Amino acid sequence: MNHFFKVKSLEEVMALIGEFSPVGSEKIPISKAFSRVLARDLVAKQDMPGFRRATMDGYAVVAQSTFGASESGPAWLDIAGTILMGDIPDFTLKLGQAVKISTGGMLPEGADSVVMVEHTEQIDELSVEIYKSVAPLQHVIDASEDFAKEEIVLSKGIFIRPQEEGLAAGLGFAQIETYKTPKVGIISTGDEIIPIEEEPLPGKIRDINSYTLSGFIREAHAIPVRYGIIKDDLAALKKAVAKALEETDMVLISGGSSVGTRDFTVDVLSALPDTDILVHGMSVSPGKPTILAKSGGKPVWGLPGQVVSAMVVLKIVIIPFLNKLKGLKAKDRLIRIPAKLTRNVSSTQGRRDFIRVELAKKNSQLLVKPVLGKSGLIRTMIHADGLLEIGDHVEGLEKDTMVDIILL
């Protein structure tokens, strides 16, 4: 049976992200929140920091007391005491008074600014000269300046970095609701593939893809689950895919996605219940013979067996689908940096090309040059710092053109 559909453009493939939904959510301790995705808006239960605090060592004052102060005409203020870290002042600071304070200390009632200690000179235990005026709230964080009570401080769909984890902790959230971490099943196929412990005979090759794909999945903060090597056997592959679909949230089948007498991937997917083949071929190089199916609401990918193609497709196409499963807000998360081409680069119209490139810096200018080598050589990815994307309707790019490079 001829299963091949019309080859889809990259834009058409990416539009299919909407076919899939995030995995379920769970409550977890804030100490385990790093790299997870928030599943519910986080609303501040109180102002943060909740009190006026100093951002400099010096003297808390009423700003008006310092107006006009200079080195030639300092303001003379009475010292009303000292505030130590953790103290809760029980007095109101008045005009003409100052109180010693350290960074992070709580300002007393009435104080609205801090004079840096470098701009003062203590005359005796009861008085200090101020050599520079300050404005209200200068060197001070106000009670709700970071976040106000009832404000949404973190939105659903945000990736939790250390700073978001710290904010949630600072607001008293011992637990938060996040999406579960997706599991990605990885299946290598082909009679020519052997375990890495074995010595390859002529015509055989060690299983590279399981390891490269697993690394990219871990880099994307998901969990790879390897299901081993499946020979070119229809029943065995169908059994492995069914098991992976039962146990994981996305399945990658490496190999078996190109035209050939022993191509079983489409036959296997077609035989699975509740499965639709959405893509069989993309106008992308490398990676044209890529398959996407939806099985029981889960994405199943048939990746080219060629290692470089598989890695490029995973980085450019599959990771955004994985981000959808993770619950991440939709946006282009590829890091792109501008650089100047050091040589002409050819391309074929009608497809999106991704060229492996190296980056170098010369005289403050970032330069980019293609990594030379046949497309199937993993060496080209080892030496690559990034990918140069060339549009569908571009014949090529000339030397000295400024381009955006997708970092690897």
What does the pLDDT look like over 234-244, one tens digit per residue? Answer: 899 999 999 99
Is the model more confident about 263 or about 375? Answer: 375
Q: What number is the average pLDDT over the span 321-335? A: 92
From the candidate CATH numbers 3.30.70.2190, 2.60.40.10, 3.90.105.10, 3.40.50.720, the one assigned to the domain spanning 27-47+148-179: 3.90.105.10
Least confident of 37-51, 80-94, 239-253, 375-389: 375-389
pLDDT at position 1 is 42
Q: Where in the chain is the domain with CATH 2.40.340.10?
A: 336-407
pLDDT at position 262 is 39
Q: What number is the average pLDDT over the span 294-298? A: 96
Q: Which fold has domain 53-141?
A: Molybdopterin biosynthesis moeA protein; domain 3 (2.170.190)
DSSP string, 311-353: HHHIIIIIHHHHHHHHTPPSS----EEEEEESS-EE--TTSEE
Q: Where in the chain is the domain with CATH 3.90.105.10?
A: 27-47+148-179
pLDDT at position 261 is 33
**pLDDT of 257 over the 60 cut:** no
DSSP string, 188-209: EE-TTEE-TTSPPPTT-EE--H
Peptide bond into 286 cis (omega under 30): yes
Is the model more confident about 350 or about 131? Answer: 131
Q: Which fold has domain 336-407?
A: Beta-clip (2.40.340)
Q: Where in the chain is the domain with CATH 2.170.190.11?
A: 53-141
| Amino acid (1-letter code) at residue 5 | F
Q: Where in the chain is the domain with CATH 3.40.980.10?
A: 10-23+181-326
Q: Which fold has domain 10-23+181-326?
A: Molybdenum Cofactor Biosythetic Enzyme; Chain A (3.40.980)
**How many Å is the maximal CA-CA distance in the chain?**
96
**pLDDT of 258 over the 60 cut:** no
